[in-house]
C-alpha cells in the first residue's frame, strides 16, 4: 500500500512524453487514471498498454485543454467513471523554440487570436499609450499584454533594430 494506491488521477498531455511516462508510473503504483490529450488514438494505445502491464484501470477522454468545454468534459467523465477526482496533473503544453521573444507570423496570429478571444487588454507599446493596437516596428508585428499576475508580456516577430527584410 502506498499513498498513490487507488487515487483517481487525471493527467492532461498523457498521449506522449512526460505525461505518458507519469501515467505509466502512477499506474504501476495503483492509481486509477484518466488520460487527456487531443490524439485519441495515442491515448487509446497508452491506456491499453497500462492495462496490459497490469497497471489497473485507465480511461481516456479526447481533450483539447484550450477549449473550456473539453476541459469540463474531462472532469465530468472522471466523476462519471470513478465518482471522484483526487489529483489533476495539468501537464499538457507545447514547447516552441525561437530566439527570445521573437516568434513567427503564424504564432503571432495565434497569440493575438487568444488575446482577443479572451478579451484581454493589449497595447502596441510597453508604456501602454496605444491600447488595442499592435505595432509594426522593424517591419514585423509586436504586442504587449498582461500575464495572469499582471506582469507585462511582449511578443514580437522581428528583433529590435532588425529592420524590414
Ligand atoms: N521536456 C522538457 O524538457 C520540458 C521542459 C519544461 C517544461 N515542459 C513542459 O512539460 C509538459 C510536457 O512536455 P513533454 O516534453 O512531455 O511534451 P510532449 O511530448 O510534446 O507532450 C505534450 C503533450 O501535451 C499534449 N497537448 C498539447 N497541446 C494540447 C492541448 N491543446 N490539449 C490537450 N493536450 C495537449 C500532447 O498531446 P496531443 O498532441 O495528443 O494533444 C502531448 O501529450 C509541457 O507542458 C511542456 O511545456 C517540458
Q: Which residue has the cell 468545454?
A: 69
Starting at the edge strand found earlier in the chain, the sheet holding 32-37 runs: 58-62, 32-37, 8-12, 87-89
Strand partners, 131: 123
Atom of ligand 1 nearest to the CA of 15: 43
- Using most ligand atoms within 8 A of CB, pick from 15, 17, 75 the residue to mutate for ligand 1: 17
Q: What is the pLDDT of residue 150?
A: 85
How many CB atoms within 10 Å of residue 25? Answer: 12
**Fold for the domain defined by 8-89:** Rossmann fold (3.40.50)
Domain boundaries, the chain: 8-89, 105-156
Ligand 1 binding pocket includes 78 (Cβ within 6 Å) = no
Atom of ligand 1 nearest to the CA of 21: 16
Tell me the C-alpha distance between 15 and 130, whole Å: 42
Asked if residue 55 has pLDDT above 60, the reply is yes
How many residues can be counted in the chain? 165
The mean of the pLDDT values for the chain is: 91
Amino acid at each position: 500500500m502506498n499513498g498513490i494506491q487507488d487515487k483517481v488521477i487525471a493527467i492532461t498531455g498523457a498521449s506522449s512524453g512526460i505525461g505518458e511516462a507519469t501515467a505509466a508510473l502512477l499506474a504501476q503504483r495503483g492509481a486509477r487514471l484518466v488520460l487527456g490529450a487531443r490524439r485519441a488514438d495515442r491515448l487509446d494505445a497508452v491506456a491499453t498498454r497500462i492495462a496490459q502491464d497490469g497497471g489497473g484501470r485507465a480511461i481516456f477522454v479526447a481533450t483539447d485543454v484550450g477549449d473550456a468545454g473539453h476541459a469540463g468534459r474531462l472532469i465530468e467523465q472522471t466523476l462519471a467513471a470513478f465518482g471522484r477526482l483526487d489529483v489533476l496533473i495539468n501537464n499538457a503544453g507545447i514547447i516552441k523554440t525561437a530566439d527570445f521573444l521573437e516568434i513567427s507570423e503564424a504564432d503571432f496570429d495565434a497569440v493575438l487570436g487568444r488575446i482577443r478571444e479572451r478579451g484581454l487588454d493589449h497595447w502596441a507599446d510597453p508604456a501602454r499609450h496605444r491600447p488595442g493596437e499592435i505595432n509594426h516596428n522593424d517591419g514585423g508585428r509586436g504586442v504587449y499584454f498582461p500575464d495572469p499576475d499582471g506582469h507585462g508580456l511582449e511578443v514580437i516577430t522581428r528583433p529590435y533594430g532588425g529592420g524590414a527584410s
